[in-house]
Structure 1
Amino acid sequence: MAEYLIVLNKDEDTISFINVETSKVEKTIETDFNPHEVIVTPDGTKTYVTCSLGNKVNIINNESFEIEKTLEHEDFNFPHGLGIAGEKLYLASTYSEKVFIIDLKTDEIEKVFPTYQKYSHMVAVTPDEKTAYIPNIGSHNITVVNTESEKVVNHFPVGKGPEGVAVHPNGKELYVANQDDNNLFIIDTETLEVLYKRRIGTCPIRVVFSPDGKYALIPNRESGDLSIIETAHELKGNKRPWEIKRIRVGVWPGGTVFNSDGSKAFVANNKTNDVSVINMNTLEEESRIKAGVHPDGIAYLKK
């Protein structure tokens, strides 16, 4: 099986399909205007790309690496974050402040509803796929969506400018990166209590967990580094989330993804036009892979 990185080059409206083994771009295709976020279906057959300034979603066939369909909607206004729950794709549209539910089989938009919050930007789905969390950058809070009823059930406050958000694989903790406060909140998913606060780098914008949940990686855009959080760091008999290392990567790191076994992570560096390869055994950057202009959204595909 071959491994690929699917890298969105925002400022040239292209996608690079990079062979992980060779570190070479095998194919580049054009997208609609300003591709931002990307997600691969669990079966690996399709990739969805939000073209935020073009107000479109490109759907890619992963056999041919070609766009097979494009979705448009009158309420797409900077479509951005993506998450999958069951047979449904959840999409957050930042400036229309709405959530779209798309059927993965038909690729049709089934439902649209507002968050009533400001700048709804990303989507994080729980491991059991029953809940979706949507950070609202302008409201400094998180919207909670029940994916079974497909309705908003709650909002709760976090720090300023929340953007990066992810649920630990154990389903018990929600990690929220607050870009305006330069910190990380670890929140109990049952009580919504903030369990821990951690100061990290400048302008943290993503949170990505290793497959086993041991590490959370947080790219800090303005300080040009990657915070490595050990989620159950043991010290004096206590286990707690702790930043055990911060490593330099490229300029303006953004999209981050792990390979399937968690041995490597990949960080798209927006302003150096490359991807940092992180060895998760040594916790060091081991190489860089060239990409297009302003790479940001990134996904991993094994086929």
Structure 2
Amino acid sequence: MTTTVIDVKTHRMITTLPIGNAFFLSSVFTPDGKFAYITNRGGSTVSVIDVKTHIVIATVQVGNNPTGVTFTLDGKFAYITNRGDTTVSVIGVKTHTVIATVQVGSFPSNLTFTPDGKFAYVANSGNPTVSVIDVKTHIVIATVEVGSSPLNIAFTSDGKFSYVTNNGGTTVSIIDVKTHTVIATVQVGIIPFLVAFTPDSKLAYVTNFGDTTVSVIDVKTHTVIVTVQVGTRPSGVSRLHARRKKRLCS
């Protein structure tokens, strides 16, 4: 398989680079923009590209079927979710080598760091759990029981709560980050997919892929205050800032 580099000024291809034998799923840049990490899904490697030279400088052995790449807030580590097994590989960005392999739940899908960068929350789609990893020690400190097939995780801006979409059902689990326990389970639409907060984190918008709705949750009361009819199979949701207006579109 290959990855293509395009000059954004001229919109022309600069080069095409060979990467892993499997098809890649995620291509994510380090926070300083010096490297690109590419997961080779279907295999067990991550390709590292030097952005300045457009050359693959490292091929890192990780777990089976790597999917997602998420960098710590300081950019020192890359966390790789290995969907084909029950692990998260932690790569030291300075050396491009695995420095820890963390045992989590079945089919780890998406990983999100708390706003303060102290913890990584991993949604284990193969069982109804979220693994909480201490970023300082790279050790699981809590396993939280949530709903069926948890998929995506988002945090309120103050870092107090984590919202988890349970893709195998019709609920969102709300976790208290201080105690790493579920404090509420909110009924939303069918196959909840993504969640995004308004800038002030007073409202959460949840796209329900299995029907034609977006559920709006009041973060203070953890209840749905309105259900918005949208198009077929809504998945993405983003927040926009336009002057002083706050909007969400899906």
* Shorter-chain TM-score tier: 0.7 to 0.9
- Name the structure 2 match of 1:197: 143
Q: Tell me the amino acid that sits aligned with residue 283 of structure 1.
A: H
Other structure's SS at 2:130 match: strand
**Cα displacement string for residues 134-188 of structure 1 (whole angstroms, at most 9, x for unaligned residues):** 1111121001122333443332211211113222222222222222221122222
Please state how far the C-alpha of 1:206 moved relative to its aligned partner: 1.8
Once the two structures are aligned, what percentage of the paired residues are identical?
A: 26
- Name the structure 2 match of 1:272: 211
* Distance in 1 between residues matched to 2:210 and 2:16, nearest whole Å: 29
Q: Tell me the amino acid that sits aligned with residue 296 of structure 1.
A: S
- Name the structure 1 match of 2:23: 77
How many residues are paired up?
A: 234
Q: Tell me the amino acid that sits aligned with residue 159 of structure 2.
A: G
- Cα pair distance change 1:273/1:137, threshold 3 Å: same
Conserved? CA contact 2:102–2:139, under 8 Å: no
- Name the structure 1 match of 2:184: 245
Structure 2: unaligned runs, 5 residues or longer: 243-250
The 10-residue stretch of structure 1 (211-220 or 193-202) with the greater mean CA deviation from structure 2? 193-202
* Distance in 1 between residues matched to 2:235 and 2:27, nearest whole Å: 13
Which of 50, 67, 73 is 1:121 aligned to? 67
- Cα pair distance change 1:253/1:81, threshold 3 Å: farther
The 10-residue stretch of structure 1 (215-224 or 108-117) with the greater mean CA deviation from structure 2? 108-117
- Name the structure 2 match of 1:187: 133
Please state how far the C-alpha of 1:132 moved relative to its aligned partner: 1.7
1:94 is aligned to 2:41: yes
* Distance in 1 between residues matched to 2:107 and 2:79, nearest whole Å: 15
**Cα displacement string for residues 35-82 of structure 1 (whole angstroms, at most 9, x for unaligned residues):** xxxxxxxxxxxxxxxxxxxx989x9x9xxxxxx789976547152475
Conserved? CA contact 1:163–1:176, under 8 Å: yes
**RMSD across aligned C-alpha pairs, in angstroms?**
3.4
Please state how far the C-alpha of 1:216 moved relative to its aligned partner: 0.7
Conserved? CA contact 1:81–1:121, under 8 Å: no
Report matched runs for 1:30-109 at 5 Å: 75=20, 77-80=23-26, 82=28, 85-87=31-33, 90-100=37-47
1:171 is aligned to 2:117: yes
* Distance in 2 between residues matched to 1:83 and 1:227, nearest whole Å: 30
Other structure's SS at 2:68 match: coil
Other structure's SS at 1:176 match: strand
Structure 1: unaligned runs, 5 residues or longer: 1-54, 62-67, 233-239
Q: Relative contact order, CA 8 A, sep 6+: which one is greater? A: 1
**Cα displacement string for residues 188-212 of structure 1 (whole angstroms, at most 9, x for unaligned residues):** 2222332222211011112222221
Please state how far the C-alpha of 1:89 moved relative to its aligned partner: 5.2
- Cα pair distance change 1:246/1:56, threshold 3 Å: farther
* Distance in 2 between residues matched to 1:273 and 1:82, nearest whole Å: 31
TM-score (structure 2 length as normaliser): 0.76
Please state how far the C-alpha of 1:97 moved relative to its aligned partner: 4.2
- Name the structure 1 match of 2:248: none
* Distance in 2 between residues matched to 1:204 and 1:135, nearest whole Å: 14
Conserved? CA contact 1:163–1:178, under 8 Å: yes
Please state how far the C-alpha of 1:224 moved relative to its aligned partner: 1.5
